[in-house]
Amino acid sequence: MGRRVEQVERRGKVLILRFDVGSLLVHLGMSGHLRLCQGAPPTEKHDHLEILFPGPWRLRLHDPRRFGGVLWTAGDPLEHPLVAGLGPEPLEDGLTGAYLFNASRGRRVAIKSFLMNGRVVAGIGNIYANEALFRARLNPLQPAGGIARKGFDRLVTGIQGVLQAALRHGGTTLRDYCDGEGRPGHFQLELNVYGRSGKPCLACGRLVRHARQGQRSTFWCAHCQP
Ligand SMILES: [Zn+2]
């Protein structure tokens, strides 16, 4: 009560609200979102947490599928087990072709699963992993350890390109994603392969394929991503 949020940051998929006495770690799970509300609009089903600020503002966590979570830590939030072992942020300097190349030597895991492992790179979800691999012309099913250095250079360009484009479009709204003011994103209109199984590849016209990889859907063009 009465504490001030001093800083807000993000590491991987975890939001960190720093107070002078500790930090709240917020994970939105599959479909949770935080919304900044003015006044006191009626609460909705699945509004699970509300933080009141001075004046009319309140921050609400809405999480219909309940995969999200909120934790408090009095210690250094970056040392918390939820984020301590994460790899480099995709849009910061630590992510390079050389880094991915070195990290993948000897690894037989498929490149897409490798990319979605937060210990390798922080916070790349399923949609953007699919799209980054399409941009890099890499088959998502191939072993990470067999990809040449040049492939990883293209992959870093693909990851950063797709994330920056998605940010410009306000994110990807397939079901219920929206931003802190309740607005949906529009990047779903720009997707090349994700969700386009059986439809023509936008680059070559051949049909986009679909497979399941570690419980997640994978989409790729076998011609463009040999
Ligand atoms: Zn194609």
Q: Over the stretch 23-55, which tens digit does the pLDDT of each residue have?
A: 999 998 878 889 999 988 899 899 999 999 999
Please return the burial class of 26, using the count of CB atoms within 10 Å of its CB with bins 0-12, 13-18 and 19+.
buried
Q: How far is the CA of 221 from the centre of ligand 1 (A)?
A: 5
| The pLDDT of residue 120 | 97
Average pLDDT over residues 56-71: 90
Burial of 56 from C-beta contacts in 10 A (0-12 / 13-18 / 19+): exposed
Q: How far is the CA of 154 from the centre of ligand 1 (A)?
A: 17
Question: Can you give the pLDDT at residue 179?
Answer: 83
From ligand 1's centre to the CA of 193, what distance in Å? 9
d(CA 126, CA 105): 23
8-17 pLDDT per residue, tens: 999 999 999 9
Model-level pTM? 0.91
Dump pLDDT digits (tens) for 114-144.
999 999 999 899 999 999 999 999 999 999 9
* Virtual torsion, Cα 106, 109, 114, 118, nearest 10 deg: -90
% pLDDT > 90, the chain: 79
| Range of weakest confidence among 161-170, 182-191, 213-222 | 182-191
Segment 55-72 shows an average pLDDT of 91
Provide the percentage of residues in the chain whose pLDDT is more than 70. 100
Average pLDDT, the chain: 94
Interval between CA 226 and ligand 1 midpoint (Å): 10
How many whole angstroms from 209 Cα to the centroid of ligand 1? 10
* Distance between Cα 199 and ligand 1 center (Å): 10
| Across 53-57, 74-78, 82-86, 182-186, least confident range | 182-186
- The pLDDT of residue 84: 95
- Residues by chain with Cβ below 5 Å of ion ligand 1: 201, 203-204, 221, 223-224
* Phi and psi torsions of 149, nearest 5°: -55, -40
